[in-house]
Structure 1
């Protein structure tokens, strides 16, 4: 028996791939455990989108050996894809595997001498949400982004395979699936675009909630947003922005401007008035002046996001922005990040206040500090006092 502890850093696509690796390893006779103390193998699925993500990966690898000195560390993911040599130099690393190895992880572990049971272990099921990968890869060269260098090959999963996976998750007790990928708005397979795939999922599965991950504003259209008349689609759109300055957007080589972004938001809000719209923002992109930052700040304020994910600009090896002139001072970046975080907290509070006194459905995920915790379909975190066992149930509650 070989016990494997999996830790995931980064995006929902990584989370989906870790979930799949866990299932594949269980089927091959490995046992997935939830404590590093019990583990023989530490499988670390890394991110490399920022320098902070790289640092977290190295810290996690070192910390695992301090906690469990006998553990064997296996590193995969985008950092492993970008610089396997750097990671291989860390102490206690058994092997470093690129993203392609994830689809054959059991054989990869066996090939380097790990022993597993001859009988499959039952994969853990019954959680509230499952990540379903529908697409991978990106060939757009945004100036700051390293993703096309570590996930360059675009591919989409057949619709019937996606539908079969969703049916299995539902049979296992999952109540919600999240459709994820690198660029899911560019889904194109079997004659279907993303809207066509969603229509087929809604027609052929009975899963109670379907949530989508990040979209680009140019991918929002009337056909797509009209599908949200079906209440099984979660009213949550993560719509990437990165900057609210047209000048900075051009330097970033993004494929939209403020006007087209504003139009995408209007389409969503006209069709789905109570939708949460969340976004990513980069502070301190090379050459971003104080005036451009102020324009960006005011645009973000105007849109009124329900949540901001704020990132200080981090130069990534091999990207155009890493060699651009006008790198912004770290102290200036920190000031801008702090202002954006404050704006994000206010936007989140304003969004939540709109629903005070309303009754919404909450998918209960866990019990924390004697209260049940879950999320509404439009991504409001809520807690409930109850003596009943509410885990993995969708309940109505007045907020």
Structure 2
């Protein structure tokens, strides 16, 4: 049988789509490889959100082609939509298939493979955490973002299909599912929004942990956040920020202000006091002055996030921000990145310290050295000693 390795770059939506692709390939008779050395074919599910991400993908393709000259490579995802012709020039690339055609990859590979046998769908490895796509696409066109150019059509998955997928993952042994998409706060299907979908999942499934990926502050309502009183919903919220300066948010064409953001955080903490709140921030957006950066840094400190993901501004072709004047010089961007990373580390330390000595439930996902590693519901990484195999189990420990 042909051995295929799927390599995923970027967002949780890509991770969900890679999982789905792996299941389809396994169902069609392909063996899912776990290491590059095992693979005859590699599928790169790509990201195009920054030029750095694209560079890493090109490097990975060239590196694997050099190590294994007979390797066949298929490229899919956002980079495939953005620059198909460029990717086709890279070594060993057999095909470039866009986001909307990912479902055609098994058939494409079948046409280029000759040694396959039917194997059961359950051949897929068990995952403690599984990603479930509930929505795709965004048309808001924030001034810096490439996503509306590569995933422009919004579509929400039918609730019955989502619930069936969750039940399948649970039957396979998954303990936690992550609901993901491009803009999941705008989920709408058959008259149901995200709140109604979560209610149905809570009522119609028994999966132990449900995690919701990125939301935006204007999407949070008391009735939606109120669902988190159910302990099956993991008390972790990823609320996109991008900047703590209102003037920068305006140039970014974001749909909220820092005051709206502050109120969303206050709402979460009033309902779910132990919640982890993480976010993304861009450093060095075009025209970002020292005063704007200082305002942003101060706001981030005020919010006291549990985790902070920092990205240097990366101009993407075709976006408004790429044509804006007053680009910030690279060295200054790097200094701002380092400052924000330092703030983020302080916030993480403060958040984790308040749980030392408390009992927490950990979903064990793997092993690091001689310790088991997993995450609490509010996304604190924990290590557990012990010789007994507890992988893919939820255990209660004292942090």
TM-score normalised to the size of structure 1?
0.98
Equivalence for 2:88: 88
Q: Using the alignment, how far apart are the partners of 1:388 and 1:27 within structure 2?
A: 33
Structure 1, unpaired ranges of 5+: none
Q: Using the alignment, how far apart are the partners of 2:214 and 2:260 within structure 1?
A: 17
Equivalence for 2:294: 294
Equivalence for 1:139: 139
Q: Using the alignment, how far apart are the partners of 1:387 and 1:90 within structure 2?
A: 46
Q: Using the alignment, how far apart are the partners of 1:245 and 1:148 within structure 2?
A: 24
Equivalence for 1:348: 348
Residue correspondence of structure 1 range 42-191 to structure 2 within 5 A:
42-111=42-111, 113-121=112-120, 122-191=122-191
Equivalence for 2:18: 18
Q: Using the alignment, how far apart are the partners of 1:120 and 1:106 within structure 2?
A: 14
Q: Using the alignment, how far apart are the partners of 2:92 and 2:189 within structure 1?
A: 42
Q: CA deviation at 1:20?
A: 0.5
Alignment partner of 2:308: what SS?
strand
Alignment partner of 2:138: what SS?
coil
The reply to whether residue 319 of structure 1 matches residue 319 of structure 2 is yes
Residue correspondence of structure 1 range 209-228 to structure 2 within 5 A:
209-228=209-228
Structure 2, unpaired ranges of 5+: none
Equivalence for 1:268: 268
Q: CA deviation at 1:116?
A: 5.0
Contact 2:364 2:372 in 1 (8 A): yes
Contact 2:30 2:117 in 1 (8 A): no
1:65-109 superposed Cα distances (whole Å, 9 cap, x missing partner)? 122221011111100110111111112211111111212221122
Equivalence for 1:9: 9
Contact 2:97 2:105 in 1 (8 A): no
Q: Using the alignment, how far apart are the partners of 1:104 and 1:277 within structure 2?
A: 37
Alignment partner of 2:130: what SS?
strand
Alignment partner of 1:295: what SS?
helix
Contact 1:125 1:174 in 2 (8 A): no
Equivalence for 1:364: 364
Alignment partner of 1:210: what SS?
strand
Alignment partner of 1:350: what SS?
helix
Contact 1:29 1:116 in 2 (8 A): no
Alignment partner of 1:6: what SS?
strand
Equivalence for 2:40: 40
1:275-298 superposed Cα distances (whole Å, 9 cap, x missing partner)? 000000000000100110000000
* 377-386 vs 93-102, which moves further: 93-102
1:270-321 superposed Cα distances (whole Å, 9 cap, x missing partner)? 0000000000000000010011000000000000001011000000001000
Q: Using the alignment, how far apart are the partners of 1:125 and 1:110 within structure 2?
A: 22
The reply to whether residue 208 of structure 1 matches residue 201 of structure 2 is no
Q: Using the alignment, how far apart are the partners of 1:178 and 1:72 within structure 2?
A: 31
Q: Using the alignment, how far apart are the partners of 1:143 and 1:391 within structure 2?
A: 43
Q: Using the alignment, how far apart are the partners of 2:125 and 2:188 within structure 1?
A: 30
The reply to whether residue 31 of structure 1 matches residue 31 of structure 2 is yes
Contact 1:127 1:174 in 2 (8 A): yes
Contact 1:362 1:394 in 2 (8 A): yes
Task: Give the superposed CA RMSD.
Answer: 0.9
Alignment partner of 1:202: what SS?
helix
The reply to whether residue 232 of structure 1 matches residue 223 of structure 2 is no
* 261-270 vs 87-96, which moves further: 87-96
Alignment partner of 1:42: what SS?
strand
Equivalence for 1:381: 381
Q: CA deviation at 1:190?
A: 1.4
